[in-house]
Amino acid sequence: MTEAILLVGGMGTRLMPLTRNTPKPMLPVAGLPVTEHQLLMAKRAGITSIVLATSYLSEIFIPYFGDGSRWGIDLRYAVEEQPLGTGGAIRNAAELLHGDSTVAIFNGDVLTGHDLAKQIDFHTSHRAEVTLHLTRVTDARAYGCVPLDADGRVTDFLEKMENPITNTINAGCYVFEREVIDFIPARTVVSIEREIFPKLVAEGKNIFGFVDDSYWLDIGTPSALLQGSRDLVAGALGGQKSEFFAGRGCSIAPDAKVIAGSSLGAHVKVENGAIVQGSIVCDDVKVGQRSEIINSFIAPGTFIAPESKIVDSYCAKDGTFSLLTPK
Ligand code: GDD
Ligand code: MG
């Protein structure tokens, strides 16, 4: 049986201030935390045992996910007192794995429609030691570039290059043979991308790329987070295509408009004449009469005064705004 490790301990720096009180993987996308979308995806691929590698705001995950039984998953937490980097986090979390067989590892900020079960089959049939999910992007500078040879073997790993040598990039979902994880030094801060992958390639390990061009998005910036939420509401990962999503207990006045892939958390009240467009509105928000919220993120519990106009912004619970950077 394949187990999984989910890397959810990063600081989410590019998403500040949204990540001041909420770790990036717990931000809502189409009504569910990013991590929950990933758990569901892992479950569909047959994975029922997962270790969450947490660090920054680790305490936020446990009350929501508990032991995972609500999802039919055996969930455990490997908490890093100090962030160990992506490699150190994997090595640390591996101590909580039950078995010695294949392990799937995900970056905790990715929405992906690729078929993980197929990636695992590919890994097995190629007798690979590591198989990386790769996707193609137009601008590869923010990602790990992964060149392949004609057989699909990884020939190098180049994290974040100014002049990318390929637009085939690391999509942040790996299948590892358990013993390869022991190659990562224990209790050490280490990057899987900058240190371990290049070393594994140099040592001639059997590393393959599973190239797949299904829907894929890293939600690491405010605009990407909003885009991801709108895409999922529009059915990018399957399910019903909708104009908007509303959580339980929402009330929307008959002449209010919630449009363009907006997503409302639980118990959101949208009053007369208000417009919510292309936005994420968290739980327990009240949107006052005739206010407009466009391409914005509203923190939980916020009261938006009547006739407000909020565009491309983050609004905190205390009512303060900040403009979201366009990238
Ligand atoms: N537990 C733990 N500890 N998790 C961490 C740590 C850590 O010290 N550092 C980062 N993470 C988690 C983050 O929470 C995130 O889910 C994941 O590791 C990747 O970190 P990011 O900070 O989002 O990296 P990135 O987006 O710049 O680049 C990574 O993802 C790209 C694809 O989205 C790399 O893996 C690139 O190679 C890749 O192309
Ligand atoms: Mg990322």
- Return the ligand 1 atom nearest residue 84 CA: 8
pLDDT tens readout for residues 185-235 = 999 999 999 999 999 999 999 999 999 999 999 999 999 999 999 999 999
**Residue 143 Cα to ligand 2 middle (Å):** 8
Residue having the nearest C-alpha atom to atom 31 of ligand 1? 143
| Euclidean distance between CA atoms 226 and 279, whole angstroms | 7
Cα 124 to averaged position of ligand 2 atoms, centre (Å): 27
The answer to whether 264 touches 250, Cβ cutoff 8 Å, is: yes
pLDDT at 1: 66
Q: What local confidence, expressed as pLDDT, does residue 101 receive? A: 86
- Whole-number pLDDT of residue 320: 87
> From the alpha carbon of 159, which atom of ligand 1 is closest?
37
Burial 124-146 (b: 16+ CB within 10 A, else e): eebebbbbbbbbebeebeebbbb
CATH class of segment(s) 243-323? mainly beta
Spatial distance between the Cα atoms of 206 and 131, rounded to a whole number of angstroms:
9
Residue 319 has a pLDDT of: 84
Give me the architecture of the 3-218 domain, per CATH: Alpha-Beta Complex (3.90)
Ligand 1, CB within 6 Å, residue ranges: 7-10, 24, 53-55, 80, 83-86, 89, 107-110, 143-144, 159, 169-172, 193, 218, 220
End-to-end CA separation in angstroms for the chain: 40
Atom in ligand 1 nearest the alpha carbon of residue 157: 37
Which residue's CA is minimally distant from atom 25 of ligand 1? 143
Distance 252 CA to ligand 1 centre (A): 37
- pLDDT (tens, 9 = 90+) of the chain, 327 residues, equals 689 999 999 989 999 999 999 999 999 999 999 999 999 999 999 999 999 999 999 999 999 999 999 999 999 999 999 999 999 999 999 999 998 889 999 999 999 999 999 999 999 999 999 999 999 999 999 999 999 999 999 999 999 999 999 999 999 999 999 999 999 999 999 999 999 999 999 999 999 999 999 999 999 999 999 999 999 999 999 888 999 999 999 999 999 999 999 999 999 999 999 999 999 999 999 999 999 999 999 999 999 999 999 999 999 998 888 898 765
Q: Whose CA is nearest to atom 2 of ligand 1?
A: 9
Residue among 5, 6, 7 to mutate when testing ligand 1 (max atoms within 8 A of CB) = 7
Residue ranges covered by each domain of the chain: 3-218, 243-323
Which of 317, 316, 293 is closest to 306 using CA atoms? 293
Distance CA 168, CA 96 (A): 32
pTM above 0.85, yes or no: yes
Residue of 86, 106, 227 best suited for mutating to test ligand 1, as the one with most atoms within 8 Å of CB: 86
Contacts (Cβ under 8 Å, ≥6 apart) of 43: 71, 72, 73
- Alpha carbon nearest to ligand 1 atom 17, residue: 107
The number of beta carbons lying within 10 Å of the beta carbon of residue 226 is 23
Ion ligand 2 — residues with CB < 5 Å: 109, 218, 220
